[in-house]
Structure 1
Amino acid sequence: MNSASETIGLIAGGGQFPLLVAKGAAAQGNRVVAVSFKGHSNDEVHRIVDVWKELKLGQFSKLINFFLENGVTKVVMAGTINKPKAFDIRPDFRAAKLLFKLATKGDDVLLRAITDEFESEGFQVVGPHVYAPQLLTPAGLLTKRKPSDMEKKDLAVGWKIARELGRMDIGQCVVVREGVITAVEAIEGTDAAVKRGCSLGGKGCSIVKVFKPGQEDRVDMPSIGFKTVQGMKELGATCLGVEAGKSLFFDLDKSIEFADKNGICIVGLTSDWVDN
């Protein structure tokens, strides 16, 4: 461990993301202390970190105390939490007090409040991409096939609508077919929204996922991966636009290879690309 190493407190959700962040933080010479949540987290994280503890969702005081006891200096959140199941949590006093103060319970509002609580205890909250920068979506055309004229128009429509929805802290993804929004993402998640949108719009839908304007990028970056691209083929969707530099793309090389074999177009969206 080098002299500049720190103790990173990892709040681990599900999927491969917390594993990649834990490995990346350790590779940079840091000590990693992880908290997982029963029924929500990837338990493989336990095997590769220095110290770990399993808690129930809502045990905020125990989480804070565990990090303090283990000398954590920076906190990073990575991985998915099953949002419908999260309604079943029984918050401890500190979590209940935090929730009571919030006028709304949207993702961004809640995560900002949690970030403020960590910072009030002296922790520095950092984005997970600091330890896994390879996951950031590149800009521009990522596949061999370019979007058709209609798909490009749908990407522009989806970009505009998704950003407006993001400002209201609703979701990050929309499905578009020939200028018509066939689905918007809410609590169900991207893959369920895509399935619904494609079932309504039919073959030829485009999917757009963006970073919410003003979103807290240290704790909630939009993400997408191979499962979504694979689902596109099954559902007949033909084009995917993901905001570049502010979104995470898991298994990108595998996704591009699959997309190229199946005539699917993937674009790393920027405002310049959409406007041109």
Structure 2
Amino acid sequence: MTASIPNEDKRIGLIAGNGRFPIIFADNAKKLGYFVSAVAHVGEAEPELEQHVDSIHWVKIGQLNKLINAFKSDNVKRVVMLGGVKKTHVFTTVRPDLRALALFARVALWKDDDILREIAAEIEREGITICESTFGLEGILVEEGTLASREPSKKEWENIRYGWEMAYEMGRLDIGQCVVIKDKVVVAVEAVEGTDGAIKRGGELAKDGAIVVKRCKPQQDLRFDLPAIGPRTIEVMASVNATVLAVEAGRTVMLDRELLLEKARQAGIAVIGIKHLEPIKA
């Protein structure tokens, strides 16, 4: 008996970067009845991803033509972009094909969002739609409120509010999504080292009691680079005695939720989902 072939509406493409986000998405999409075709970046995507998708194609960063042809070969018309690419790898492992080189020449400013928007536009010119990265993620987005058992103290809330505003400004400048705060002082801002690196650096400078705030950039394109937290985030915070993780509700993905919250409870770290905070009054 021949298995039925899913139609275009039940096919979804996955451009996979690093971390567990692509794996969790693939599992969720398959539960929803989708055929999942992945294009995975060598040196970034987890090899385990192969066991969680229906079809996989491995490409090096910058092999744009190969990426597009892979989705065409699987008859995929809709795609999500999930998982990051370590910015340090951009300097060492990018192998752009002619199509990518032409695209890079069109980018006026080498900011993350500008590059990703141009890549998305190139893919969409081939009839492949880039969906918002919240596609099919109901149930794993952070909700509003206190998520782990401990409520932040009054002093911690003051630092959360300050960090919320600073994260907005850093995002507006397209620098990063995460800031580390101690006594209303910014001790670290996420840059090329990523969130875990920023937490480690900021926590070591703060000594203890650091507050970690992560939120979308005000100009965030939800098709890519959605903030994500996971158990590793808590492990890094615990290693430097950070006390609070505040993230944007409805626009942050929580990976391995139960494990993350259990690790937070064990370490006494408050985890807060925030939608809106009033600005700090002078």
TM-score interval, normalised by the smaller of the two chains = over 0.9
Question: How far off its partner does 1:275 sit?
Answer: 7.0
1:221 aligns with 2:226: yes
Distance between the aligned counterparts of 2:237 and 2:55, measured in 1? 39
Question: Alignment partner for residue 268 of structure 2, among 250, 263, 269?
Answer: 263
Question: Alignment partner for residue 58 of structure 2, among 40, 50, 54?
Answer: 54
Q: Provide Cα deviations, 1:218-273, integer angstroms capped at 9, x if missing partner.
A: 21101111111122222011111011111111122222222223221111012147
What is the match of residue 6 of structure 1?
A: 10
What is the match of residue 232 of structure 1?
A: 237
Change (3 A) 1:115 1:84: same
Q: Provide Cα deviations, 1:16-55, integer angstroms capped at 9, x if missing partner.
A: 2111111222222222211112211112222332222111
Q: What is the TM-score of this pair, normalised by structure 2?
A: 0.92
Structure 2 portions without partners, runs of 5+: none
Distance between the aligned counterparts of 1:98 and 1:122, measured in 2? 17
What is the match of residue 147 of structure 1?
A: 152
Question: Alignment partner for residue 113 of structure 1, among 79, 93, 118?
Answer: 118
What is the match of residue 43 of structure 1?
A: 47
What is the match of residue 134 of structure 2?
A: 129
Secondary structure of the structure 2 residue equivalent to 1:25: helix
1:67 aligns with 2:71: yes
Judge which range, 256-265 or 117-126, deviates more. 256-265
Contact in 2 for aligned 1:5/1:31 (Cα 8 Å): no
What is the match of residue 81 of structure 2?
A: 77
Q: Provide Cα deviations, 1:112-153, integer angstroms capped at 9, x if missing partner.
A: 111111221111111333223222111111122111111101
Distance between the aligned counterparts of 1:123 and 1:77, measured in 2? 12
What is the match of residue 20 of structure 1?
A: 24
1:31 aligns with 2:35: yes
Distance between the aligned counterparts of 2:148 and 2:35, measured in 1? 38
Distance between the aligned counterparts of 1:265 and 1:274, measured in 2? 21
Secondary structure of the structure 2 residue equivalent to 1:103: coil
1:249 aligns with 2:254: yes
Distance between the aligned counterparts of 1:137 and 1:274, measured in 2? 22
One-letter identity of the residue aligned with 1:170: I
Change (3 A) 1:96 1:187: same
Change (3 A) 1:14 1:160: same
Question: How far off its partner does 1:104 sit?
Answer: 1.8
Sequence identity (%): 40
Question: How far off its partner does 1:210 sit?
Answer: 0.4
Q: What is the TM-score of this pair, normalised by structure 1?
A: 0.94
Distance between the aligned counterparts of 2:216 and 2:186, measured in 1? 18
